[in-house]
Amino acid sequence: MLGEGGHTANFSAVTTEKIIDSEKKQPKVRKKLPVVNKDFQLEKYSWHTLRRIVHLLCFLVFVTLPFFNLMRFDIPRQRFYFAGFEFWINEFATIFFSMLFLMFVIAAASMLYGRIYCGYLCPQMIFSEASINLEEKVKTFINKNFAKYSIDARNWMNRVAVYTVLGIASVFLAFVFISYFIEPHDLFWRLMSFDLVTVGGIAGAVITLITFADFAFLRQKFCTTICPYGYLQGILGDDNTLVVHYRDPEKICVECKKCVRVCHMDIDIRNSPYQIECIHCGECVDACKLIMGKFGKESLIQYAWGENGEVLGDKKAKWFQRIGLRDAKRFAVFAIIFIYAIALFTAFTMRHSVMVTVAPNRATLYRIGDDNRVYNTFRMTLANRGKNDSTVSLSIANLPDAKFTLPSNEISLKAGESVQQEFEISVPAKSLPTEVNHFEIISVATPENTTDKFEETFIMPLEKENK
């Protein structure tokens, strides 16, 4: 049963051995069920089919994102590509808040839907299951077509075939993974030149080996031994979080153990819905549905909103409860995510492709030139983050008779170019009434004609110095 403090304690408290021991002491009394439809089949869209479709989509997304600059931390270029935007390293705040948003969404999804990310979206899980399926298919093929050879010979054939395919797949997956950090064309030519000397080449070789070892040997053990997200889930979930739950009030389980056999995490969900290994994939839901369907009964294993909540999709629940918004905390989280998303989107759209910053250099407050003008020094940084060349025009407002010392008030910037430059602004001595004068520097950047205004101060000599 779930304690008052939520189910966090259950994750650590549940051990399969203990439960089996206690069950051994109390023999179960099962009802005998008549078979009513031995040809019962799952409907077209079982959880298994849904997972396969989602896995395929995730694989396509995983492969596509870095190639179309939809997501990449480009380390050599010091750029972050996200959703078609190219951020420079000096826009760290936007990058940081984008990453924070993604983490927040994953944490909120875990609170509402449990380990749906692990079961449906995680690349590690997708490739682990793919490698298991591959191994099974290769084994079946070899046993069928090379039946005249000894078992040892077939085992060797099986191993060589599986490791060869996994080796090729590892090179490809490592290539895609590293493309999240190095531009793919650049990476391709490094690969072609068998670069094992530079940092990129060494990283590529190491990641390929790790990927191979992971998918050939570690597989789902990674989820229960290395990945911290499964443990984190114990903190994020509560009594209303979606879980995979076994309920058998009529005591009609036929002990076929199909739910155990299909589980890639090697657990028996009947022991508890809060086992840390469970990734909420729903394979056991389908398995039990197939078995109990033959007896004209519903699956004993279902997705449910917590240990005591209704099953997923229960028509009696209100629409917002059916999508997981089941208490005030969840509404608050949803509202925060919504506001955060709008703020982030607004920040993205307000971003100018040409960045202009101007700041005073106060190492020297002012200087008086031979031309009897007073000079103040400023520093500007221009960065053209767009794909087209740009021209930045500077002008001064609210500072009478002011002049730039720049050769031209129009500065040309090629696409991707950045410039840092010091310049002076001068006014005739005694032309301004006070020591500190407020004025504006205005920049207009083509091709978007974006305007930035910088509130600055111009420092004049004190009255006595002016005499």
Nearest-approach distance from CB 253 to ligand SF4, in angstroms:
3
Q: Does 154 bind ligand SF4 (CB under 6 A)?
A: no
- Of the residues 267, 382, 402, 411, which one makes contact with ligand SF4 according to CB under 6 A: 267
Q: Does 280 bind ligand SF4 (CB under 6 A)?
A: yes
Neighbours of 79 (CB within 10 A): 20
- Of the residues 254, 354, 380, 394, which one makes contact with ligand SF4 according to CB under 6 A: 254
- Of the residues 14, 116, 269, 460, which one makes contact with ligand SF4 according to CB under 6 A: 269
Phi, psi of 309, deg, nearest 5:
-80, 175
For residues 65 and 278, which CB has a smaller minimum distance to ligand SF4 in the complex? 278
Among the residue ranges 49-57, 263-271, 361-369, 400-408, the one whose residues contact ligand SF4 (CB under 6 A): 263-271
Q: Does 263 bind ligand SF4 (CB under 6 A)?
A: yes
What are the C-alpha distances in Å from 246 to residues 118, 174, 276? 20, 39, 15
Q: How far, rounded to the nearest angstrom, does the alpha carbon of residue 265 sit from its chain's CA centroid? A: 23
Nearest-approach distance from CB 68 to ligand SF4, in angstroms:
33
What are the C-alpha distances in Å from 121 to residues 52, 156, 278, 326? 11, 33, 15, 24
Q: Phi/psi zone of residue 299: left (φ > 0), alpha (ψ -120 to 50 degrees), beta?
A: beta
- Of the residues 52, 159, 258, 403, which one makes contact with ligand SF4 according to CB under 6 A: 258
- Of the residues 125, 173, 265, 358, which one makes contact with ligand SF4 according to CB under 6 A: 265
- Taking Cα atoms as reference points, which of 242, 243, 256, 248 lies closest to residue 297? 248
Contact 82, 71 (CB under 8 A): yes
Q: Does 396 bind ligand SF4 (CB under 6 A)?
A: no
Binders of ligand SF4 among residues 300 to 329 (CB under 6 A) are 300-301
CB-based contacts of 213, cutoff 8 Å, min separation 6: none
- Taking Cα atoms as reference points, which of 409, 436, 434 lies closest to residue 421? 409
Total number of residues that touch ligand SF4 (CB under 6 A): 28
Q: Does 223 bind ligand SF4 (CB under 6 A)?
A: no
Nearest-approach distance from CB 29 to ligand SF4, in angstroms:
14
What are the C-alpha distances in Å from 43 to residues 175, 244, 286, 290, 296? 38, 19, 10, 10, 14
Q: Does 288 bind ligand SF4 (CB under 6 A)?
A: yes
Name the amino acid, one letter, at 308.
N
What is the contact surface with ligand SF4 in residues (CB under 6 A)?
244, 246, 253-259, 262-263, 265, 267, 269-270, 278-284, 287-288, 291-292, 300-301
